[in-house]
Structure 1
Amino acid sequence: MHPTQMLRSGGDTPVGKHGKYLGGWGNFGGMKQKGIVTYGISMNRQNPLAGTTHDAIFNTWRRFSSQVLYWAPPMIAGYYIMNWAIERNEYLNSKAGRAEFGAEE
């Protein structure tokens, strides 16, 4: 006898982990489950965008507040360094800057 024939035979043939054939798809031979209640709602009665605005605001704030210390200090430092460099360049290329540092070049 082939193993596939034994699996398909059903009944009380000892097969598998618990020694019983469970049955085909959708027809498992186990005990009926009790105390499990499921509810469903029709697709056209659901609101797919329910709570998206509220969740978007608070989720965005949560993610922003947890990451701001990683990128804000370097961004602020970079802004001040760039601002200093621009002001220094404008001074060195002005009449007063050329008069003060022109002889060094």
Structure 2
Amino acid sequence: MGGGGGPGTTPGVYLGWWGNFGGLPQKGVAQYSLAANQQRPLAGLAHNAIFNTWRRFRGSVLYVAPPFIAMYYLMDWAEKRNHFLNSKEGRALYGGEEED
């Protein structure tokens, strides 16, 4: 039972469940639907996949590529330096101590 005292309410009258308080039906709302067999769920899939992927790649390549390239060259330099310092020539040149 709904409470009373509000404008236009009667004490002891059931208002309805939550979200459906027994008011007047809403007007001016149009609902459209499409049958499942009339939809084209894969329409433009290949075209959108190619161009959307290219758009996203183009938008983020400048954020990803420079740090990746910098880290690649840094790792390459570090590995070559490590191999040199652990080689016979590197040990002979630096006498077992690495330069600063």
* TM-score, normalised by the number of residues in structure 2: 0.65
* Structure 1 unmatched runs, 5+: 6-22, 31-38
In 1, the alpha carbon distance for the partners of 2:80 and 2:91 equals 14
Deviates more, 1:64-73 or 1:82-91: 64-73
Greater relative contact order (Cα 8 A, min sep 6): structure 1 or 2?
2
Cα pair distance change 1:79/1:2, threshold 3 Å:
closer
* Structure 2 unmatched runs, 5+: 10-22
> Which protein has the bigger helix share?
1
* TM-score, normalised by the number of residues in structure 1: 0.62
Aligned residues: 80
* TM alignment of 1:80-95, pairs within 5 A: 80-95=73-88
- Alignment root-mean-square deviation, CA: 2.7
* TM alignment of 1:23-34, pairs within 5 A: 24-26=24-26, 28=27
1:62-87 Cα offsets, whole Å, 9 max, x none, are 01101111111111011001100000
Aligned counterpart, 2:49: 56
Shift of 1:52: 1.6
Q: Give the one of 66, 72, 83 matched to 1:73.
A: 66
1:38-97 Cα offsets, whole Å, 9 max, x none, are x86422122211112211111111011011111111110110011000000000001111
Aligned counterpart, 2:8: 4
In 2, the alpha carbon distance for the partners of 1:61 and 1:97 equals 47
